[in-house]
């Protein structure tokens, strides 16, 4: 979805260059140069964009729900780990980049959804994603958000990243997390409380072409992902007037459950052992969150998360 919008924005920029409005393209390039660091410095959100009526219909289409299980004290900063990535990451966008759901449930907290830095190099598109409250997923950007002395900031990171999108098959419960410990280190360095978030229904929005590990398709996808920085899952869903084939996601409910915070004491120089201990605790809390809520959202009792 993001790539389609980004391609449109890039195409529009090319039209400006090739057409009679090249001077506008030059002015924008100057602006891009001067504004290059903004995605790593809290972005530039717009309450007007986040409140567009279209987002209300977007949330109601699936529909998307945000479930609160515990209070989050706005005097602290938080790092929310979002799982799973899915193909569209609809739950993350609908709940954290549009108003008013999050601010009604968690007053005093400002959410920042971190996405791959590559998106902020796309002309015009970068302005849109920043206006929705998205910022870079770079270390500098996460540090900027979590370094707020007064608290009240919430970094949302899709832990599995682009690689996990390749596992986004209906019914899949496989999370790419065992080797992903950078978010743990960031939480320790800034004393940000960790909060596991699981979005039930995220993997049910599309059907993806079979790509088991070791297959030629998966090998090609993984190589492209390493080169470009984002995955290219081959997916389909429904059309506008028929349900057999198309690129419109299926109308499947999404329930994004926000777990209880894991208190984290600031440690500017955490050891590998300390990072591993907190990572293990996070996995334990994430699994507990899933187990407590899975039967409420259509997951069979015998199904469990798979960490890899």
Q: What is the CATH number of the domain that holds 290?
A: 3.40.1130
What pLDDT is attached to residue 14?
62
Does a structural domain hold residue 62? yes
Percent of the chain with pLDDT over 90: 75
pLDDT surpassing 80 at residue 95: yes
Under a CB-based contact definition with an 8 Å cutoff, are residues 87 and 205 in contact?
yes
pLDDT surpassing 60 at residue 274: yes
The band of 66, judged by pLDDT with boundaries at 50, 70 and 90, is very high
What pLDDT is attached to residue 276?
98
pLDDT surpassing 60 at residue 8: no
Q: How many domains does the chain have?
A: 1
Does a structural domain hold residue 179? yes
The band of 15, judged by pLDDT with boundaries at 50, 70 and 90, is low
Averaged pLDDT of the chain:
91
What pLDDT is attached to residue 18?
63
The whole-number average pLDDT for the span 269-276 is: 97
What pLDDT is attached to residue 79?
98
pLDDT surpassing 80 at residue 24: no
User: Longest C-alpha distance within the chain, in Å?
Assistant: 63
What pLDDT is attached to residue 256?
98
Nearest Cα neighbor of 63 from 36, 34, 98 is 98
Does a structural domain hold residue 6? no
- Whole-angstrom Cα distance, residue 198 to residue 95? 12
What digits encode the pLDDT tens for the residues 230-261? 778 888 899 888 888 888 999 999 999 999 99
Does a structural domain hold residue 150? yes
- Whole-angstrom Cα distance, residue 78 to residue 7? 33
What digits encode the pLDDT tens for the residues 110-160? 999 999 998 898 888 889 999 999 999 999 999 999 999 999 999 999 999
- Whole-angstrom Cα distance, residue 44 to residue 136? 12
- Whole-angstrom Cα distance, residue 237 to residue 85? 17
For residue 121, give every residue at least 6 positions away whose Cβ sits within 8 Å of its Cβ, in sequence order, or none: none
What pLDDT is attached to residue 155?
98
Does a structural domain hold residue 118? yes
Does a structural domain hold residue 63? yes
What pLDDT is attached to residue 88?
87
Residue 96 is part of which domain span?
Answer: 40-307
pLDDT surpassing 90 at residue 10: no
What pLDDT is attached to residue 113?
98
Does a structural domain hold residue 178? yes
What pLDDT is attached to residue 2?
58
pLDDT surpassing 90 at residue 28: no
What pLDDT is attached to residue 143?
98
Does a structural domain hold residue 193? yes
């Amino acid at each position: 979805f993001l790539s389609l919008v980004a391609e449109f924005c890039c195409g529009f920029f090319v039209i400006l260059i090739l057409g009679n409005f090249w001077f506008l393209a030059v002015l924008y390039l100057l602006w891009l140069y001067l504004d290059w660091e903004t995605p790593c410095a809290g972005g530039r959100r717009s309450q007007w964009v986040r409140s567009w009526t279209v987002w209300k219909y977007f949330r109601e289409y699936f529909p998307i729900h945000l479930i609160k299980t515990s209070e989050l004290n706005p005097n602290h900063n938080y790092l929310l780990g979002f799982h799973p990535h899915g193909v569209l990451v609809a739950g993350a966008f609908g709940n954290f980049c549009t108003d008013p759901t999050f601010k009604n449930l968690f007053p005093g907290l400002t959410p920042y959804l971190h996405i791959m830095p590559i998106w902020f190099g796309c002309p015009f598109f970068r302005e849109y994603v920043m206006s929705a409250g998205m910022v870079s997923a770079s270390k500098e950007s996460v540090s900027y958000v979590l370094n707020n002395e007064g608290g009240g900031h919430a970094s949302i990171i899709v832990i599995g990243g682009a690689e996990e999108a390749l596992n986004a098959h209906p019914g899949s419960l496989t999370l790419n997390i065992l080797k992903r410990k950078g978010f743990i280190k960031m939480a320790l360095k800034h004393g940000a409380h960790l909060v596991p978030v699981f979005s039930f229904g995220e993997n049910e929005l599309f059907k993806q072409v079979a790509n088991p590990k070791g297959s030629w398709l998966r090998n090609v996808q993984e190589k492209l992902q390493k080169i470009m920085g984002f995955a290219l899952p081959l997916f389909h869903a429904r059309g506008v007037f028929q349900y057999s084939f198309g690129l419109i996601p299926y109308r499947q409910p999404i329930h994004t459950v926000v777990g209880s915070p894991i208190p984290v004491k600031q440690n500017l120089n955490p050891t590998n052992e300390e990072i591993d201990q907190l990572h293990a605790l996070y996995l334990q809390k994430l699994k507990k969150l899933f187990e407590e809520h899975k039967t409420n959202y259509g997951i069979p009792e015998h199904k469990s998360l798979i960490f890899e």
